[in-house]
Amino acid sequence: MNHLGDRVICDCSSKSVNEAIEIFSQTSLPYKKAKKLVTECNRSCCRRALMRLFDMVEFGDIDYEEIDFLIEQRDIKNLRIDDVE
Amino acid sequence: MLSSKLVDFSRWIKSNGLTSVVPTDINALKKLLVLDLSKKKLRELPDSIEALENLNVLKLSGNRLKTLPKGICKLKKLRNLQCENNLLIELPEDFGDLESLLILNLNGNHLKTLPKSFYKLTTLTRLTIATNLLVGLDDELKNFTKLLYLSLDTNNIKKLPDVFGKMKALYYLDLSYNKLTSLPDSISKIDELETLLLEGNQLAKLPSLESHDMLIRLNLNDNELCELDFDFSHLEDLQILTLDNNQLVELPNSICELQRLRHLSFSSNLITHLPNCIGELENLIELDMEDNLLHEFPTSFSKLKKLKILYMDNNNGLSKPDIKSLEFCDVE
């Protein structure tokens, strides 16, 4: 699953899934504070994948394929919203 | 006719290597009540699924389905349909024929619109269409009077029709992450509302929320609020209030009357001072006031005897208060 772990989960900070896992593993902060350590901003564009990953780290079982799907979904959604606008 | 469809469905089960999770025997299929095809990497379902005439629960979440077969609309006994995290771009035209449906989860698909017949699903008690591409909803949503739980978050909705007037039993409403600039007046008619999530919209003004005396959780994060001009004291059951990332310059004094409030968060605003009465929040456990313009605590702050968690970094030179109950503070 290494290639899935290398995928960028947050475009703002360019952090990968593996980097986000490392950050979430090393903090005891709640999600709303911990996410800023990954995103380095206040935006919420990568919220769905990040929130799910945070939960997975909490429970100790990472489903890389699900995270990959959620990142994919976000990218498609962003493209389609750009289409609408 | 149905038996040939059962044979067809049985063949489909075998050809997709699903025999370990679904029976292939025709009689067993005919009696099947629950079908769980979650996370099977499915790209399509056969139309012959209609032959499972006794099906109550159908779980299709976590696949790669772009459409659902028309036959699914003939499952007259279906009560619970889970189709989260697929790639659905549309629903079958006759989707509203699922007349027994109580629970519907379409979270995480690519739906831009819903078919007209969708609004016949008035028996629904739980509806989740979060994380899709919906730009609006039909006025006919007003007939969903049995709804208890409605999640429309993370869509592209700019305006909601005024449909909540008869949704008296709705206790959970999530409208987060849309493009709402205003809320329909009928929101104030939802008598039983306990959770109202409005995060990530473009709300600059709110309707009065004073009628929601059963509200337990209110989330207004990431909006464009400059002021809160209704009387909070009526929200007597409120336990969680979050106002992060707005443009608030002060909090109303009526917040101090929220005797059940346990979590209060207003980080990343422009607040220069706290209400003098803030010490009256005697059940407050967690307070997040990080990233504001505060320079001192009012005297009453030391009365917050249950406060355990305090975020106060990025203000104007605030020092950590001396409160014995504090277990965590982000400033030393």
Q: Which of A5, A24, A7, A1 is nearest to A74 (CA)?
A: A7
- Which residues, in sequence order, are bridge partners of residue B81? B58, B104
| A residues 15-44 closer than 8 Å to B (CB) | 32-33, 42, 44
Which CATH number covers residue B331?
Answer: 3.80.10.10
Q: Which of A58, A72, A59 is nearest to A24 (CA)?
A: A58
Q: Which two tokens stand for residue B25?
A: 């025997």
Please tell me the distance in Å from B268's CA to the nearest CA on chain A: 9
Q: Enumerate residues 6+ apart whose C-beta is below 8 A from A36.
A: A42
How many other CB atoms are found less than 10 A from the CB of residue B68? 22
Q: Rounded to an integer, what is the distance from CA B66 to the centroid of its chain?
A: 24
Chain segment B275-313, per-residue pLDDT in tens: 999 999 999 999 999 999 999 999 999 999 999 999 999
Count the helix, strand and coil residues of chain A and give each as a percent rounded to the nearest 5.
65, 5, 30
Separation of alpha carbons B278 and B98, rounded Å: 52
User: What b-and-e string marks burial along B152-170, b requiring 16 or more CB atoms within 10 Å of the CB?
Assistant: bbbbbbeebeebbebbeeb
Sort strands A15-16 and A8-10 into parallel, antiparallel or unpaired: antiparallel
Tell me which residue in A42, A48, A69 faces B245 most closely, judged by beta carbons.
A42
Position B124: which residue type? L
Q: Give residue limits of the domains in chain A.
A: 2-84
Assess if residue B325 is contained within a domain. Answer: yes
Q: Would you say B52 and B35 are in contact if contact means Cβ atoms under 8 Å apart? A: yes
Assess if residue B270 is contained within a domain. Answer: yes
Q: Does A79 touch chain B (CB under 8 A)?
A: no
The pTM of the full predicted model, rounded to 2 decimals, is 0.92
Residue B39 or A73, more confident: B39
Helix or strand run (H / E) with residue A39:
helix A31-39
Position B3: which residue type? S
Q: Which of A37, A75, A80 to mutate to test the interface with B (most CBs of B within 10 A)?
A: A80
Tell me which residue in B108, B222, B311 faces A73 most closely, judged by beta carbons.
B108
Separation of alpha carbons B300 and A51, rounded Å: 36
- How many domains is chain B built from? 1
Number of H-type helices and E-type strands within chain B: 2, 14
Q: Which two tokens stand for residue B324?
A: 């014995």
Please report residues of B whose CB lies closer than 8 A to that of A66.
Answer: 62, 85
Rg (CA), chain B: 25
Task: Count how many Cα atoms sit within 13 Å of the Cα of residue B124 in the half-sphere of its side chain.
Answer: 24
Question: Is residue B292 classed as helix, strand or coil in its secondary structure?
Answer: coil
Q: Does A47 touch chain B (CB under 8 A)?
A: yes
Give the domain extent around B273. Answer: 250-332
Position B105: which residue type? N
Please report residues of A whose CB lies closer than 8 A to that of B63.
Answer: none
Please report residues of B whose CB lies closer than 8 A to that of A27.
Answer: none
Q: Which of A36, A40, A42 to mutate to test the interface with B (most CBs of B within 10 A)?
A: A42
Q: Would you say B180 and B159 are in contact if contact means Cβ atoms under 8 Å apart? A: yes
Chain segment A40-67, per-residue pLDDT in tens: 987 777 888 999 999 999 999 999 999 9
How would you write the pLDDT of chain B (332 residues) with one tens digit per residue?
668 999 999 999 999 999 999 999 999 999 999 999 999 999 999 999 999 999 999 999 999 999 999 999 999 999 999 999 999 999 999 999 999 999 999 999 999 999 999 999 999 999 999 999 999 999 999 999 999 999 999 999 999 999 999 999 999 999 999 999 999 999 999 999 999 999 999 999 998 898 999 999 999 999 999 999 889 999 999 999 999 999 999 999 999 999 999 999 999 999 999 999 999 999 999 999 999 999 999 999 999 999 999 999 999 989 999 999 999 999 98
Region of residue B126 (phi > 0: left; psi between -120 and 50: alpha; otherwise: beta): beta
Tell me which residue in B108, B154, B268 faces A42 most closely, judged by beta carbons.
B268
Q: Which two tokens stand for residue B34?
A: 């629950």
Assess if residue B32 is contained within a domain. Answer: no
Rg (CA), chain A: 13
Sort strands B149-151 and B103-105 into parallel, antiparallel or unpaired: unpaired
How many residues can be counted in chain A? Answer: 85
Tell me which residue in B131, B156, B311 faces A48 most closely, judged by beta carbons.
B131
A74 band by pLDDT with thresholds 50, 70 and 90: confident
A77 and B110 within 8 Å at the Cβ level: the answer is yes
| pLDDT value of position B35 | 97
